Structure 1
């Protein structure tokens, strides 16, 4: 049995508003399921935009249209967002949020035309936020190309024209090999000894007497800010133990360097701190953003790690085709 949504009442109410209060049970159940998939995706992207630092405002657009016939000509996108530009100006855009596991996202001609018609009506750029493999792309609808019938965009082209860095403040970084966090525990008292075929098992009372970090040169670092420490919660670290007569030390280190987008780090850090199985409940973070606020200014933490040698590269990704509204 699938888990019941935590805000089922809200989903039911919104479904009834969209379908009408006389909706049949099957229609209502189908709409609730669709909203439970779509709304969390919008919430996730909204939080990511706000957390990355350049977004001044993002909110959902009410998609209950009137008059009734307007739906034949216009498709209201999911979000409206305003981003601060480096020159002091603002970029206000419309965003349609999508999840597509295929390599190509395809829009039917009428859906594509209605989205563009709404964008033209408000004279605002229309962007598509696409999630695949846990990676978000934000790309202009102008990047879609007409195939035989539909308008298509490959994930490769979306990544090449991703605006999430230049518009919202996303970036990628690489952790240095050997960078890690180390916890040393002193043996205080031997409690029990069990002899087995595999060897001798000892139980000790222990006290943690040291916690330190290392960079790519295996240099010990002790004065690392709390936001800089979050980088270790975003990475898949390898666990190892070393033993001496007096201490046991747990080493959590990076054994292989690769790139990670900051927006992906947010998901990993939230998952680590919540220690909950399953997907993150993004809607709850919209209602109470304490956990998000605790890891704000993440870029400053990564820059601190760069100076310490824990991070060895920071990349700002620029789109191959810069939309006219960003020039």
Structure 2
């Protein structure tokens, strides 16, 4: 059974505005479903852009066009965004947001031409935000190449020319093997002992008396800031326990190092905050961004972890082809 969207009324109203108030019920239902899939994707990318730190403004574009004939020439993209540059200038772009699980994204010629026409009309570059397998890339529409009929872009080429780091401030980092968090709990009182299938299980009343971290050299690290500690909530850590006569120590350790984009970490951190429902309700975070704001300055936390030896690499990835508007 499909869960009712939290803002169903808004989706219905927007669908009626697009189709007209006399729309057939089936067409209306189909449009509501399409918006319910598409709008959260736009919201997610908007929040990611704002959170990464260089986006001064991002907002949806009203796609209700008039006169009706304009739809034959222009396709209004999803978002308009303004980014601050290191040199003090500002870059404003149009963004069309897409989800495509295939290795190649394909645009029909008329759709491609109408997007380009709108971009040329306003004089703003047009970028495509593409989500695939939880990874976002942001690429110029000029990277699409015409095949037999359609304009195509492979995910490999999209990642090679990804502007999310260069323009929005995304980055990648790697957690050191042995990096982890350790929680020490003192045995205060034995409550009961249960024997089952030849094993003895003890139920203890425990009191946490110490929390510490370890780096790649298995050295203890203390006094990490709150934002630096969040790196452990963004990673898949292996759990184990050590038992002594007086304590139980719970270990959550990185056993295999790999790289993670900061924008992917945001999704994991918001999922962690919403423990009862691991899904991220992006539209809700647009209305109330307290949880997102609590993860601000994430890069500073990663840099703090790097000094402590918990993170061993930070990558600022540059595009293979820098678009003319970025030069």
TM range (shorter): over 0.9
* Cross-structure match for 2:215: 215
- Secondary structure at 2:318's aligned position in 1? coil
| Gapped regions of structure 2 (runs ≥ 5) | none
- TM-score with structure 2 length normalisation? 0.99
* Cross-structure match for 1:39: 39
Alpha-carbon shift at residue 142 of structure 1 (Å): 0.3
Cα deviations by residue, 1:67-96 (Å, 9 ceiling, x for unpaired): 110000000000000000010000100000
Q: Matches of 2:241 and 2:191 in 1, distance apart?
A: 20
Q: Matches of 2:195 and 2:124 in 1, distance apart?
A: 73
Alpha-carbon shift at residue 195 of structure 1 (Å): 2.5
Q: Matches of 2:205 and 2:277 in 1, distance apart?
A: 31
Q: Matches of 2:221 and 2:147 in 1, distance apart?
A: 55
Q: Matches of 1:202 and 1:137 in 2, distance apart?
A: 50
Alpha-carbon shift at residue 220 of structure 1 (Å): 1.0
Tell me if structure 1 keeps the 8 A contact 2:193–2:201: yes
Q: Matches of 2:245 and 2:278 in 1, distance apart?
A: 41
* Cross-structure match for 1:273: 273
* Cross-structure match for 1:187: 187
* Cross-structure match for 1:310: 310
Q: Matches of 2:106 and 2:196 in 1, distance apart?
A: 62
Displacement over 3 Å in runs of 4+: none
Tell me if structure 1 keeps the 8 A contact 2:272–2:278: no
- Secondary structure at 2:232's aligned position in 1? helix
Aligned length: 327
- TM-score with structure 1 length normalisation? 0.99
* Cross-structure match for 1:325: 325
Alpha-carbon shift at residue 278 of structure 1 (Å): 4.9
Cα deviations by residue, 1:14-57 (Å, 9 ceiling, x for unpaired): 00111111111111100000000000000000000000000000
1:203 aligns with 2:195: no
Tell me if structure 1 keeps the 8 A contact 2:184–2:209: yes
| Gapped regions of structure 1 (runs ≥ 5) | none
Give 1:10-25 correspondences, 5 Å limit.
10-25=10-25
Q: Matches of 2:228 and 2:16 in 1, distance apart?
A: 46
Q: Which deviates further from its counterpart, 143-152 or 273-282?
A: 273-282
Cα deviations by residue, 1:172-228 (Å, 9 ceiling, x for unpaired): 000000001111100011111122333221111111100111111111111000000
